[in-house]
């Protein structure tokens, strides 16, 4: 079968990734995407259906994220809806490798149950770190567009001090914003203090939110609850960067007249070329490990 790779679903990042795979000597078969957005290459072909992809591929590459609703594969450029269960059933026992990103735990368990070999690229730390860069730039683009005041001198609360939180604090420092960081981990709060940020325990954020101009959540758990929202000013902007379902009670926030943006898949929206470059670097390393 040689170096034949099937690519299904995904946004502009995956199309650019397909081009990179061709440049590196792979034969690529696309399905559930937009033909008009792909460059003309003799080594990129379009499948008639999912069965053809599976029949002709040794590796199947899925999108980032793998799914947004838990039932269908993320395929915003396609007219087709690809059920996750259907894909896993078709791969079952065939020893075809599935590579995707942000694969939910229940899907991973299904793959194990159905004897499907899979790799989640987001478990590669280097990709998660690199993707934080366009995520942060996209987040600040939203903030600048929607806030009636400058980021300079504004009060910003960042919930979580993981990869995205760390990049956010670094970039926001350049705007001379007043940066507060909330985390559960005492070590995170100590580092924030050492770097000159204002630390806050996550359980105490209700005491801080009433003076914030911007709140950015990076935690994939419900942290901005009704009780917290009741303390937030009506002119505060909330940006939630966490994957679905997010960490904000969106319905209640909007009911209270607070603008909230659930900003998903920002790398693919604001910097698809850069995001695809990062993805390609990590993927090519993984394929080298697989094929040797």
For residue 109, give the CATH number of its domain: 3.40.50.720
134/59 same-domain check: no
Distance, in Å, from the CA atom of 287 to the CA atom of 59, rounded to the nearest integer, reads: 9
99/214 same-domain check: no
Give residue 58's pLDDT band: very low, low, confident or very high (50, 70, 90): very high
Distance, in Å, from the CA atom of 192 to the CA atom of 184, rounded to the nearest integer, reads: 12
Identify the domain containing residue 215 by its residue range.
127-268
37/25 same-domain check: yes
Q: What global pTM score does this model have?
A: 0.82
| Residues 220-272: tens digit of each pLDDT | 999 999 999 999 999 999 999 998 899 999 999 999 999 999 999 898 889 98
Last residue of a domain, one of 106, 123, 140: 123
107/133 same-domain check: no
131/117 same-domain check: no
pLDDT exceeds 80 at position 292: no
Q: Where would I find the beta strands (DSSP E) of the chain?
A: 4-8, 27-31, 44-46, 59-61, 97-100, 118-120, 155-159, 178-183, 198-201, 214-217, 237-240, 259-262
Beta bridge partners of 200: 182
Reduced to 3 states, what is the DSSP secondary structure of residue 221? coil
84/102 same-domain check: yes
Q: Is residue 279 part of a domain?
A: no
Beta bridge partners of 258: none
193/242 same-domain check: yes
Q: Is residue 285 part of a domain?
A: no
90/143 same-domain check: no
- Total domains, the chain: 2
Residue 240: which residues within 8 A CB-CB, separation 6 or more?
216, 217, 224, 246, 247, 248, 250, 260, 261, 262, 263
């Amino acid at each position: 079968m040689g170096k034949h790779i099937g690519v299904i679903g995904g946004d502009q990042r995956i199309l650019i990734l397909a081009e990179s795979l061709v440049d590196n000597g792979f034969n690529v078969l696309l399905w559930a995407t937009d033909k008009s957005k792909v460059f003309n290459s003799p080594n990129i072909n379009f499948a008639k259906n999912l069965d053809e992809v599976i029949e002709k591929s040794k590796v199947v590459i899925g999108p980032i994220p793998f799914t947004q609703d838990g039932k269908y594969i993320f395929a915003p450029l396609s007219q087709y809806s690809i059920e996750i269960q259907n894909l896993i059933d078709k791969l079952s026992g065939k020893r075809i490798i599935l590579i995707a990103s942000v694969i939910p735990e229940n899907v991973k368990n299904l793959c194990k149950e159905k004897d499907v070999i899979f790799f989640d690229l987001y478990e590669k730390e280097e990709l998660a770190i690199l993707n934080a860069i366009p995520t942060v730039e996209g987040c600040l683009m939203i903030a600048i567009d929607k806030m009636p005041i400058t980021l300079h001198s504004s009060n910003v609360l960042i919930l979580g001090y993981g990869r995205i939180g760390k990049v956010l604090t670094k970039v926001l420092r350049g705007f001379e914003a007043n940066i507060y960081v909330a985390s559960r981990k005492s070590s995170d709060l100590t580092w924030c203090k050492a770097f000159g940020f204002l630390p806050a325990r996550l359980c105490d954020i209700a005491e801080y939110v009433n003076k914030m101009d911007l709140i950015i959540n990076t935690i994939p758990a419900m942290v901005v609850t009704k009780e917290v929202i009741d303390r937030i000013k009506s002119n505060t902007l909330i940006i939630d960067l966490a994957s679905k379902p997010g960490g904000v009670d969106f319905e209640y926030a909007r009911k209270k007249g607070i603008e909230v943006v659930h900003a998903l898949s920002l790398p693919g929206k604001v910097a698809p070329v850069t995001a695809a470059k990062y993805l390609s670097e990590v993927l090519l390393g993984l394929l080298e490990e697989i094929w040797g």
